[in-house]
Structure 1
Amino acid sequence: MAAAASDSDPAAHPRDDPSLPFASFSLSLSLRTPAASLLSPLTASSPGLSRSFPSGAPGAAGRRRTLVWFRADLRLHDHEPLHAAVGASSSLLPVFVFDPRDFGKSPSGFDRTGPYRASFLLDSVADLRRSLRARGGDLVVRVGRPEVVIPELARAAGAEAVYAHGEVSRDECRAEEKVSKAIEKEGVEVKYFWGSTLYHLDDLPFRLNDMPSNYGGFREAVKGLEVRKVLDAPEEVKCVPMKNVLEPGDIPTLGELGLSAPPAMAQDSKSAAGSNLIGGEAEALERLKKFAAECCMQPNKAVKDSTQNSIYGANFSCKISPWLATGCLSPRFMYEELKKHAIRAIPSGSTPKDGDGTSDAGTNWLMFELLWRDFFRFVTKKYSSPQKTSEVAPATGCTPAPAFA
């Protein structure tokens, strides 16, 4: 999935310290969702935008049409842009865009998205479409550049607002800026919400620019913060009438994205172990449910201290990272579900620890992995905006040309 971050820094996360979590699953930063070409040529249209990250759903000041741009948030539960749009709009236009640039080569010559990751993404988009259709809505899918597709769709649907989750990496932030610039003259409101971390950006006890650069300092700073409540998935999604205006569009194949499935992928799909991961919110929720149940049946699986080694081995982890990276699963929802099972997951006779240890009747080792994930995402966000090298760190003989240009 998106770039995975390591928590192997011995200074910040010593492996013999029972009060700290293990990186038992990949701490993916995010998956940048792509863009799409329309079925018919449309004229670009769109808004002067608000690039804030609202902390709550806006009031229903007027009944309007809102385009909800799905990105690395392929779910209906705990989705603030969708929740806000449902409350403030008469109808919605849910959109996902496959950006061809996400499937090309990076400046270093590496594939931005390989066939396995792309296949997982296709599964996730298909699952999101099924979920929306089950609630009376639909998902418009396109292949193209978001800064072209989003304004065109907004104009075609007569949308007065565009809601989306803001992301953290440089390329994702640039995509947001391009979309904003493309539609700023059309009078359409644009709002980017925050929703990819356990703790909300607005709740941090420091400005992002002043964030501690090491995990230990970050953990101390956020100690005691409350996790916001999970937003329920909407029971009904009323979409903009698409007949004679817009076609939902087909979900592309790997070949249409310029990728080909390696022989190993076909073999994996036939294996008894089912090594191919299935993308989508439904699969993510089912996996989380099973993992929580296993934690209750095998208490040691949910707790890690210096005397318990039960989390080691082939099945030591929940293996939920791909669904977190694509946003099929909300970290807050994961936290709430695991917290419900935490008391039962702590073995009888064990002594709960205070502070940031294994937890006292409230959390387990896996929840602290979510905190590590928060740390990496906030650090990425901190340095993702284009800055002059001198603003980031003192120049030295080894300082590269604009590191964040």
Structure 2
Amino acid sequence: MTSGTVIHWFRADLRLGDNLALREAAAVAGRLLPVYCHDPAEEAVTHWGFVRRSAHRLAFLSAALADLDAQLRERGSRLLQLQGAPAEVLPALARTIGAEAVVCEAIAAPEEEDQVAALRAAGLEVRTVWQSSLLAPAALPFAVARLPKVFTDFRRAVEAVGLQPPAPRAAPGDLPPLPEIAVLPLA
């Protein structure tokens, strides 16, 4: 990636602090656009007959996004919230602003991995960053496929090599500037 325009796609992790994907996006971007996609699939009834997000979860999400936007504004940025499936709205946004890449957290779940694959199939460079556990899978003293079945065995293997979780990282003090966006509403 170069120091051009980068989209940071907020997915499940809506924090500024300890957000490795945001830190990486900010490090490589000349201009950075933080984005959240309101995917209609998240509101649809599952094949089990219930919605994926209840009214309480939607209220929590709304409050979390408002807080995230406020924190970004304190740093001279803001959150662009898009309506639509990420595979549809992010490629169109990237073309509109001339973004060179999308950076987001890696989520080890089939639907979330399919979203990233769809973005890549649409021609976007997508960089995923693992931040969903205290220890990075690559740092473990065994392959993830050989994960011990009992926690005590896991703990002993990790302790035997002296592996410690990294200290939490503070939220960035400032972020790269927003790209010039004359045609998109930034609410």
The number of residue pairs the alignment matches comes to: 184
Q: Distance in 2 between the 1:190 and 1:158 partners?
A: 14
Q: What per-residue deviation string (whole Å, max 9, x for no partner) do you get for residues 119-159 of structure 1?
A: 10111011111111111001110111011111111111111
Q: TM-score, normalised by structure 1?
A: 0.44
- Within 5 Å, give how 1:276-295 maps onto structure 2: none
Who wins on radius of gyration, i.e. which is larger?
1
Deviation at residue 173 of structure 1 after TM alignment: 1.6
Q: Distance in 2 between the 1:236 and 1:245 partners?
A: 25
Deviation at residue 189 of structure 1 after TM alignment: 2.7
CA gap of 1:89–1:148, structure 2 versus 1, over 3 A, is same
Q: Could you tell me which residue of structure 2 aligns to residue 287 of structure 1?
A: none
Deviation at residue 214 of structure 1 after TM alignment: 3.4
Q: Could you tell me which residue of structure 1 aligns to residue 39 of structure 2?
A: 99
Secondary structure of the equivalent of 1:67?
strand
Q: Distance in 2 between the 1:167 and 1:62 partners?
A: 24
Equivalent position amino acid for 1:191 in 2? R
Q: Could you tell me which residue of structure 1 aligns to residue 165 of structure 2?
A: 227
Q: Could you tell me which residue of structure 2 aligns to residue 355 of structure 1?
A: none
Determine whether 1:70 maps to 2:3: no
Q: Distance in 2 between the 1:134 and 1:76 partners?
A: 12
Judging by fraction of residues, say which structure has more strand: 2
Q: What per-residue deviation string (whole Å, max 9, x for no partner) do you get for residues 356-391 of structure 1?
A: xxxxxxxxxxxxxxxxxxxxxxxxxxxxxxxxxxxx
Q: Distance in 1 between the 2:31 and 2:76 partners?
A: 11
Q: Could you tell me which residue of structure 2 aligns to residue 331 of structure 1?
A: none
Q: Could you tell me which residue of structure 2 aligns to residue 215 of structure 1?
A: 151
Unaligned runs of at least 5 residues, structure 1 = 1-60, 250-405
Deviation at residue 202 of structure 1 after TM alignment: 1.8
Deviation at residue 232 of structure 1 after TM alignment: 2.6
Determine whether 1:204 maps to 2:140: yes
Q: Distance in 2 between the 1:246 and 1:65 partners?
A: 15
- Within 5 Å, give how 1:3-402 maps onto structure 2: 62-183=2-123, 188-223=124-159, 224-237=162-175, 238-242=177-181, 244-249=182-187
Unaligned runs of at least 5 residues, structure 2 = none
Equivalent position amino acid for 1:124 in 2? A
Q: Distance in 2 between the 1:226 and 1:236 partners?
A: 28
Q: Distance in 2 between the 1:163 and 1:79 partners?
A: 11
Superposed CA RMSD? 1.6
CA gap of 1:196–1:154, structure 2 versus 1, over 3 A, is same
Deviation at residue 206 of structure 1 after TM alignment: 1.4
Deviation at residue 92 of structure 1 after TM alignment: 0.3
Are 2:3 and 2:30, in contact at CA under 8 Å, matched by a contact in 1?
A: yes
Are 1:200 and 1:228, in contact at CA under 8 Å, matched by a contact in 2?
A: no
Q: Distance in 2 between the 1:79 and 1:86 partners?
A: 11
Secondary structure of the equivalent of 2:30?
strand
Q: Distance in 1 between the 2:68 and 2:107 partners?
A: 19
Q: What per-residue deviation string (whole Å, max 9, x for no partner) do you get for residues 271-293 of structure 1?
A: xxxxxxxxxxxxxxxxxxxxxxx
CA gap of 1:159–1:198, structure 2 versus 1, over 3 A, is same
Are 1:157 and 1:240, in contact at CA under 8 Å, matched by a contact in 2?
A: yes
Are 2:116 and 2:126, in contact at CA under 8 Å, matched by a contact in 1?
A: no
Equivalent position amino acid for 1:231 in 2? R
Deviation at residue 231 of structure 1 after TM alignment: 2.7
Q: Distance in 1 between the 2:144 and 2:2 partners?
A: 33
CA gap of 1:208–1:121, structure 2 versus 1, over 3 A, is same
Secondary structure of the equivalent of 1:232?
coil
Equivalent position amino acid for 2:183 in 1? V
Q: What per-residue deviation string (whole Å, max 9, x for no partner) do you get for residues 72-107 of structure 1?
A: 110111112211122221110110001111111111
Q: Which has the higher contact order (CA 8 A, sep 6+)?
A: 2
Q: Distance in 1 between the 2:173 and 2:92 partners?
A: 28
Secondary structure of the equivalent of 2:167?
coil
Identity %: 35
